[in-house]
Amino acid sequence: MKITVIYGTNRTEKSSTYNIAQQFLAELADGDPVTEFHLPKDMPKFCKSCSICFTDETKCPDYDYLKPILDAVKAADLVIFTVPVYVYHAPGQVKAFLDHCAYLWMPHRPEPAMFKKQALIISTAAGAGMKSAVKDVKDSLDFWGIAKTWTVKKAVQSSDWETVTEKRKTEIAGKVLKTAGKIRRCKGAGPRLKVKLLFYWMRSMQKRMGFSKTDVAYWKENGWLAGKKPWKRT
Ligand SMILES: Cc1cc2nc3c(=O)[nH]c(=O)nc-3n(C[C@H](O)[C@H](O)[C@H](O)COP(=O)(O)O)c2cc1C
């Protein structure tokens, strides 16, 4: 399975989310390409609020950082996000990356390939906050049209992987095996109901009012206003 990993921080060996992601790679990569990015190293910019991406994303002032990450996302069967909890939410650099992808949201120009891939969000906290941190990312993935998004959440009571107790590491390993099995079984499957409903809702909005000329033209070009669906071949 081709996998792209977007790590929510620059940490590696000491990071719990990084180590959990490595366990998924060991289970799922099967010798296929794995492409990895770290935030903020690979996207060190904040959105400049120019809104030019809604007309042409290649004109984004930070496109040189964005393009390699999104190319790898488009090429992957599975996209993994690691999201340590920072003050009950995703770290700022994760939000900064997602802000650069606003044009990919379904009301605008969703990428057809997204509707055929899976994502996994791995979140750990010392104690709490995984639910809201995961939601920070999952909202974007649902609106990108990602077919299925899985989550692994764990309170590790620690800031470093090496001090996470063996009991918790065993629980995590069990969760990794279970979730990896589900991901393997769902390879190539269509979007879940929520994503389909979002698509139908956005389609009716594009038909009735159209969000912008660019968006309507894009939806027409893809045949979506004439009944085509991005998760079907024809
Ligand atoms: C700036 C910062 C804010 C944090 N905020 C929270 C928090 O709100 N709730 C919590 O339980 N842990 C919080 N933590 C602890 C981390 O979420 C926790 O150690 C997590 O497992 C780190 O993941 P990592 O090892 O992959 O970096 C925070 C840590 C940092 C550095």
Instruction: Specify the pairing of strand 118-125 against strand 78-82.
Output: parallel
Q: Which domains does the chain have, with CATH numbers?
A: 3-190 (3.40.50.360)
Average pLDDT rounded to a whole number, residues 211-229: 95
Among the atoms of ligand 1, which is closest to the Cα of residue 159?
Answer: 19
234 has a pLDDT exceeding 70: no
- Tell me the backbone φ, ψ of residue 86, rounded to 5 degrees: -120, 120
pLDDT classification of 210: cutoffs 50, 70, 90: confident
Mean pLDDT of 69-79: 98
pLDDT for 188 = 85
Residue 160, token pair as written in the block: 């470093």
pLDDT above 90 for 120: yes
Residue for token pair 């964005």: 66
Interacting residues of 170 by C-beta distance below 8 A, sequence separation 6+: none
As a whole number of angstroms, the longest Cα–Cα distance in the chain is: 56
Tell me the residue type at 99: D
Ligand 1 center to 54 CA (angstroms): 33
The whole-angstrom separation of Cα 97 and Cα 45 is: 8
98: which 2 tokens? 């997602």
Around ligand 1, the residues with Cβ closer than 6 Å are 9, 11, 15-18, 84-88, 124-129, 156, 159
CA distances from 230 to 47, 108, 129 (A): 28, 14, 34
The residue whose CB lies within 8 Å of the most ligand 1 atoms, and thus the one to mutate among 9, 19, 86, is 86
